[in-house]
Structure 1
Amino acid sequence: MQTATAPAGTASTTRPPRRKQAERVAESDRRMIDAAMRLIASGGYSQTTLANIGVEAGYSRGLVQHRFGSKDKLLEALINQVANDHRERLLPKLRGLAGIEALECEIDSYLEGVDQPSVSSRAFFVLMLESIGPAPHVRQVFAEISKRWHDALAGQIRKGQKAGEIRKDVDAAMEAQLLIAAVRGLRMQSMLSPETSRIALPLAALKRDLRRRLLAPPR
């Protein structure tokens, strides 16, 4: 019995399936956001336009405007993308942790790579600072991200309180606010003066102080 054979050349002429429209749109969106990150990181809000974002991404200004509507809408997408990417990296590290250990994991993850900040990190902090100046339209996005982070940290503190690890009289909301201020300040200080920030020393001090203030006395 003979087996059927494919016509010669069939394997070499088979073409991979064309990408779906949604995949092409997602890729072009990401390229435009990445281009905006590079421009914001190097030139800030005022020097970044839809036109030069399009050029940097390899597209036209018209496509950028059609896809996002305005520069501020694109920058909102950029900010949320950076925050979401960070959260996706953090969640696996948090698995199985609670209370103080979860808080320390949050601290370490936020300050990861602080000595050599990525383009996305620089763009994020440039926009955060400029949201209280020339870019007020994106301030609300940062406020929403901060609230989600604050709620997550306060939730970890309350879990520690329920488990008996963290003192019952600790104000979870206030401690979460202080922790955000501390780690943001350390990150900003390191970006402003990487040669003198010596991040390891204040980071260790922050963790020691956190444990001193929050941990319940041994039973």
Structure 2
Amino acid sequence: MSNIDFTQKLQKLMQRVGISSFKALSRAAGVSEHQILRLRQGKLEQMRVDVLLKLSPVLQMPLSELITNFSSVELLQNPAANQELLREITNLKIEYDRLQLQLEQQREILLQELQQSTLQMLESLLLQWPTAAKKAQEDPEFAAVKIVPLVQKPLEKLLQRWGVEAIASVGTQVPYDPQLHQLMEGKAQPGELVKVRYTGYLQGDKLLYRAKVSPM
């Protein structure tokens, strides 16, 4: 276990780039404070390469210099070994950059697939809504009930695809549950009947929006 303390050295680097605390460094680099502590304690060999690659640009220090300055192991006594280490570091950085680019490309592909899938589910709404809206504007007697299916069916299909469920239908009476319901007015005790004014939604076990209710 290393007894070396690199805290002051790290603080000087942080001051140079305008970072005031270890917590701020953690946020800026997107690494845990525990990893920052390892760097301060000279436990660089226990840190993952991706963590060092995130700290390097934030501290405005090349990865090779970061390793040299914060390693508790003497690297310069064997020039050949040092050169080999630097080559390994360079190769790791190249591989890291490649994986980052690949990940970004995969995210873009997934986003495009999600958008395409969503557009397909909303196809009838996209194609028919502008015409229906125009008709409603031109004809005040045009029944709104004719427009409702254009919105309701695609929306229900989309919510079902994403595993989103309504907490309760509008107008229904349900026992008040403060975890699922939000009172719009008045007071209610848990278990008392309330009326659903605006529905809420769950996605699996995750609460997205509480249903808005009013006392009976």
What TM-score do the two structures reach when normalised by structure 1?
0.24
- The higher-RCO structure (CA 8 Å, 6+ apart) is 1
What TM-score do the two structures reach when normalised by structure 2?
0.24
Greater fraction helix: 1
- Greater C-alpha radius of gyration: 2
